[in-house]
Amino acid sequence: MEANYFQNNAILVTGINSQDFKDIMREVVEEAIRSLKADVASLNGTTTYTIDEVAIRLGKHKSTIYRYCDAGLIETVKIGQSYAITHTSLQNFLEGKKISHV
In the chain, what is the straight-line distance between the N-terminal and C-terminal CA atoms, in Å? 50
Which of 79, 74, 65 lies closest to 95, judged by CA? 74
Q: Whole-angstrom Cα distance, residue 26 to residue 37?
A: 16
3-state secondary structure of 77: strand
pLDDT tens digits, one per residue of 15-32: 677 888 888 888 888 887
φ/ψ of residue 15, rounded to 5: 75, 20
Q: Whole-angstrom Cα distance, residue 66 to residue 82?
A: 11
**Average predicted confidence (pLDDT) for the chain:** 79
Going by pLDDT thresholds of 50, 70 and 90, the confidence category of residue 2 is low
Q: Whole-angstrom Cα distance, residue 96 to residue 29?
A: 40
pLDDT tens digits, one per residue of 46-67: 788 999 999 999 999 999 999 9
